[in-house]
Amino acid sequence: MDRHKVLLVIGDATETVDTLYPYYRLQEAGLTPVVAGPEKKRYNMVMHEVKPGWHITREWEGYTIEADVAFKDVRPEEYLGVFYSGGRAPEYIRDDEDLIRITRYFFEHDRPIASVCHGVEIPARAGCVKGRRMATVAKCKFDLEVCGGHFVDAPCVVDRNLVSGRTYHDHGHYMGAWMKLLEAERLRAGGGR
């Protein structure tokens, strides 16, 4: 295992803030964020917000981001942990067999996992949320619960190695807890700083 690499799972229409906030936080901590997508290519990100007076999410184009690796080429044992970004991407990538393989590895090996917003759709699809407590955007509560998870409406939910938040508004609440788990995993694996 590389003691410094952390996987960030994305796809087209991944949420901009959900992706860039952890990307730069990992760099600040001396870790290497490795962006993984269905293919190794540049992806379009979006910005999501429920505007005042609206009852549904409005979407705008965001920045783009380059995937460093395709899901099929990811060897999860090389990474300290994984982050599942939000946006619409999880709905479209959650059936990818390699992403399911990757996801199951992190849950089975108790590596640090973080999820925000729609990111829950990936571990839910992989069959990894049964009995687990998680925060997610309210409209994904069904996805979590139908797969056996327990919805918690809070800015930070920690369930063993799994840390989650509802939306990008919660980044300042849950990200610190995940970073602590990553640091502990790095020290446990003998990676130091």
Give me the catalytic one of 48, 55, 109, 118: 118
Spatial distance between the Cα atoms of 48 and 51, rounded to a whole number of angstroms: 9
- Does the pLDDT value for residue 17 go beyond 80? yes
Tens-digit pLDDT profile for residues 94-129: 999 999 999 999 999 999 999 999 999 999 999 999
Q: What is the pTM of this model?
A: 0.95
Strand runs labelled E in the chain: 5-9, 14-15, 32-37, 42-49, 58-66, 69-70, 81-84, 113-116, 133-134, 150-151, 157-159, 162-165
Strands 150-151 and 81-84 turn out to be unpaired
**Of 120, 117, 19, the residue nearest 67 (C-alpha):** 19
Task: Tell me the per-residue pLDDT of 34-90, one tens digit each, with 9 for 90 and over.
Answer: 999 999 999 999 988 777 887 777 778 889 999 999 999 999 999 999 999 999 999
Q: CB 192: neighbour CB atoms within 10 A?
A: 9
Sorted by where each starts, the structural domains of the chain and their CATH numbers stand as: 5-188 (3.40.50.880)
The verdict on whether 118 is a catalytic residue reads: yes
